[in-house]
Amino acid sequence: MDGLRQRFERLLEQRNLATEALRALEARTGVDKRYLAAGAATLLSLYLVFGYGASLLCNLIGFVYPAYASIKAVESPSKEDDTVWLTYWVVYSLFGLVEFFSDLLLSWFPFYYVGKCAFLLFCMAPGPWNGAHMLYHHAIRPLFLKHHEAVDSVVRELSGQALDMAAGFTRDAKVNSSQGQKDK
């Protein structure tokens, strides 16, 4: 339990949007930022269990901060932060795909949105506990390396068919347009 508390306190000492807001709130209210953060986490958890719109809140948590951090990563000169957030988005998109098929069933479970939110926070956690990094390197990357040539082949074939169809539509539109011009 002490290790978790130390990690929590280290997290509160980092400089980011959330910790700056907690510092400002601490200065205004006189309440320790640890209590403010714990209270906010408790209220958020309760809302995710009982609140209306828990799905929206959970999706905002999984999207807004990572989008903001991704923009900052793109604008920074470092490549490492780009890789962290690209990895997150790969995991997020695959999770979204799986969730599309299972959401209708799973959303009826009382703690579904709490679990989903915890999973997304785990995936964006900084440092060695980054869930997106772990999932990518232990599950997604091995599957990708095993099957990427077959997927590339299918994508090339579908791209070729799509280009052929687009060329056919364009050719047909030109022919129909020129016939319409002659009829006038």
Q: What is the mean pLDDT of residues 36-46?
A: 85
**pTM score of the predicted model:** 0.69
pLDDT of 114 reads 86
How much is the mean pLDDT over the chain?
A: 85
Task: Give the pLDDT score at 5.
Answer: 74
- Comparing CA positions, the residue from 88, 128, 133, 134 lying closest to residue 7 is 128
Work out the average pLDDT over 178-182: 64
**CB-hemisphere CA count at 13 Å for 85?**
19
- Per-residue b/e over 110-133, b at no fewer than 16 CB within 10 Å? eebbbebbebbeebbbeeeebbbb
The answer to whether 105 and 99 have CB atoms below 8 angstroms apart is: no
Q: Which helix (H) or strand (E) holds 115?
A: helix 112-124
Q: Pick the residue with more confidence: 33 or 142?
A: 142
pLDDT of residue 54: 82
Helix or strand (DSSP H, E) at 99: helix 80-106
